Amino acid sequence: MTRIISIVVGIGFTVAVLWAFAFGVGPAFSTFAKHGQFVEPTAELELHKVAHGPEGGFSFDGPFGKWDYAQLQRGYQVYKEVCAACHSLQYVAFRNLEELTYSEAEVKAEAAQYQIPKYDPATSEVVTQPGLPTDQFPPVPYFGTGHPPDLSLITKARHDGSNYVYSLLTGYGEPDPEVLAKFPDFEVPAGMSFNPYFANVNIAMAPPLTTDGQVTYADGTEATVSQMAKDVSAFLTWTAEPTLVKRKQTGWPVLGFLLFATILAYLSKKQIWASLKPRKKD
C-alpha cells in the first residue's frame, strides 16, 4: 500500500515538474529560438538606450576626480531656476551650500529667499518664515501629471546616476523610425514625452532644458542645453554624495598604509623566523 502511494506521489511530482517546464521554461526557449532573446521584444525594450556621460566626462570621474566648484554653483543655479519649479531638494540644508564655496553671508541671504513652513509651539500652528541656514530646502507643491521625485539623492537612486541624469535631460527626441516600423501599435501616451533613457521610454516630465541661454550664468559660461544638463547633473551628484571626492582622496593614503603594513609584516616575519633554520634534507 505504502508503495502504491509513493508511486502515485512520485508521478504527481513528475507531472508537476514537466508541467512547469512546458509552461515556464518551454515558451522562454521558443521565444529565444524565435527572437534570439528570452523575452518577447517590445517597442520599449528596443527603444531604450543605456545612459552615457557628457563629452569629456565629469571632473569628479575616476580615482583622482575633483569637484569643479564653479560648475557646482552653476548647477545649483540651474536647479533653482528650472528644476525647483517641480522638484524638491529636501535632504539638503542651506548651510551645506557653504561647501560650494559660498560665503556664510551668501548662504544666509540664499536661505532667506525661501519660505519655510514651521511649527509654532506658542499657537500650535504651522507658520511660514524666511529660511535660516540650518533649514532644509522646503517641499515643492506640484499639481501636474506624474510625481516629480525629490532630487537630493536621485543620482544614487539610479544606475550610473550622474550620467543617467545628463542623458535623461539631453535625450528627448523622436523614437527611431526603424524600430517604430516593427511596432506600429507603439505610441507615446498623451501628456507624456518620449525619452529613450527613461526606464519605459515615456516620461511625465516635459523636456525641462530646451533652449540655449535658458539661464544666464554669472561666470560667463555659455549656457548651452548640454552645459546646463552637465552642470545640474554634477550638482545633483554633490547633493547625493557630498563626500565623494573626500572618499576617493582618502583611498590613497589608505592604500599607502596597507602597502607599508605589508612590508612591515614581511620584514617581521623574516626576523621572527630567522633563528629557525630549515631542516636539512638527508
Cα(first)–Cα(last) distance of the chain, in Å? 71
Residue 133 grid coordinates: 541656514
Site string for ligand HEC, 87-126 (x = CB under 6 A): x---------------------------------------
As measured in angstroms, the least distance from the Cβ of 169 to ligand HEC is: 6
- Is 230 an interacting residue with respect to ligand HEC (CB under 6 A)? no
Q: Does 165 bind ligand HEC (CB under 6 A)?
A: yes
CA–CA separation, 41 and 270 (whole Å): 63
Question: CA of 209: how far to CAs of 147, 170, 172, 237, 278, in Å?
Answer: 18, 8, 10, 18, 74
Q: Which of 3, 147, 159, 270 binds ligand HEC (CB under 6 A)?
A: 147
Which residue's CB is nearer to ligand HEC, number 214 or number 249?
214
Looking at beta carbons only, is 147 or 279 nearer to ligand HEC?
Answer: 147
What does residue 240 show for φ and ψ, rounded to 5 degrees? Answer: -80, -35
Beta-carbon contacts of 133 under 8 Å, excluding residues fewer than 6 positions away, are 93, 94, 95, 104, 107, 108, 111
**Candidate residues 158, 166, 172, 175; the one interacting with ligand HEC per rule CB under 6 A:** 158
Cα torsion for 187, 190, 196, 198, to the nearest 10°? -130
Q: Which of 47, 51, 72, 83 binds ligand HEC (CB under 6 A)?
A: 83
Residues that bind ligand HEC (CB under 6 A): 78, 82-83, 85-87, 144, 146-149, 151, 154, 158, 165, 168-169, 198, 203-206, 208-209, 232
